[in-house]
Chain A
Amino acid sequence: MISKPMSDTQKTRQHWMSVMAKSSSDSLIKLSNVYMDQQDFENIRPAEVGLTQIRGRMGGTGSQFNVGDMTITRCVVQSAKGHYGHSYIAGRDKNHAIRAAQLDAMLQDPTHQYSIIQNIIQPLAHTLATQQAQKANNVAQTKVNFFTLVRGED
């Protein structure tokens, strides 16, 4: 299947969905509680837990292989204004999935978008980047390089 290149709107949405999925449930819910007053959502697909198979490539570029199964929770809601919010998160935290779906719907609404990106998505993205950098730093300290000496006449 040939996929079309993503539009900017899709890329932005992909970014906020990814940030909300990767962030911790507690911090997402704490940051977003103030936005949830007077918001009304319908459950199109109530949060449900399931399994998905994750696949990887050898060395990142080689042929595909199955890494294993992982638990995911997904949810779809519709806001009172008619926007559909989707979420897929790792693990079995239904509250995390519900809140991420609700925020995804609100983020598609221009009246909330700017403020939610400023107050929720950017701080969470910053935290994620810091954690990632710290982890990369910790791992880098124990990095070992392997050298192979060329032998023989070939």
Chain B
Amino acid sequence: MTALTLIKGFQKPTHDSQRVFRQLLKAMSEPGTLVRVDSPESIDSLHASTFAVCQAMMDQQTPLWLSPHFATPNIKHNLHFHTGVPIVEESQQALFALISPAEIDSVERFPHVFFQGTDEYPETGCTVIVQVHSVKDNISKGVNLRLTGPGIETAQLVSISDLSPPLLNYLSNQTGERNGSFPLGLDFIFIDKNQLVCLPRTTQVEVL
């Protein structure tokens, strides 16, 4: 058995997690706004930024589902060590999911593979954290999205790399099920090495 590596967590756990939480709150309430998050170290394919979000948001009561890309012994060990988060095999039971965009194509029954909440408690729907190569708040080579809806004064433009057609079709409501199932649904966090952008279920997405 090879020994597992432990990485450094937040050095001032209270202040650091409050700072990341505040950044996430801003990004969630003003969709399309980019915010920066950081943690001292990364491990395997998990960025330090993604690890920061995990440390700020997760604890014993927030089951997490890891896609095969992230389900390595080192990542599981560190997430569990630093947050105590239970890692579940069944994605329907998860409040948070961590996935890479390439894998969304291969996930069967997307988006129904994730729990979308119930009519009584729609807020219990899964928050999907997608770790991408880059997110930008201007038009660039990646997929460009025009966002409108609550929290946005007129419209926001964001550019997110690596998004695949099935995910884009879902986000832009091509199939009608994203808006059709409202208030049930999934909230997304797209995160690159330094910054993140959120697409809550209320945000209307247009692919440019």
- Which of these, A46, A76, A78, A84, contacts B11 with CB under 8 Å? A46
Determine how close the nearest CB of chain A comes to the CB of B186; give it in whole angstroms.
32
Report whether A43 and B13 are in contact in the complex, using a CB–CB cutoff of 8 Å: no
A44–B51 CA distance with the chains assembled, in angstroms: 14
Report whether B6 and A46 are in contact in the complex, using a CB–CB cutoff of 8 Å: no
Determine how close the nearest CB of chain B comes to the CB of A125; give it in whole angstroms.
28
- Residue among A44, A46, A48, A76 with the most chain B CB within 10 A? A44
Is B12 part of the binding interface, using a Cβ–Cβ cutoff of 8 Å? yes
Contact residues of B between 24 and 71, Cβ < 8 Å to A = none
- Which of these, A42, A48, A76, A84, contacts B13 with CB under 8 Å? A48
Number of B residues whose C-beta is below 8 Å from A? 10
Determine how close the nearest CB of chain A comes to the CB of B4; give it in whole angstroms.
10
Report whether A46 and B7 are in contact in the complex, using a CB–CB cutoff of 8 Å: no
Determine how close the nearest CB of chain A comes to the CB of B86; give it in whole angstroms.
16
Report whether A84 and B12 are in contact in the complex, using a CB–CB cutoff of 8 Å: no
Number of A residues whose C-beta is below 8 Å from B? 9
Report whether B13 and A44 are in contact in the complex, using a CB–CB cutoff of 8 Å: no
Report whether A44 and B7 are in contact in the complex, using a CB–CB cutoff of 8 Å: yes
Is A45 part of the binding interface, using a Cβ–Cβ cutoff of 8 Å? yes
Q: Give 6 new A-B contacts, CB below 8 A, not counting A44-B8, A45-B82, A46-B13.
A: A42-B8, A43-B8, A44-B9, A45-B9, A46-B10, A46-B11
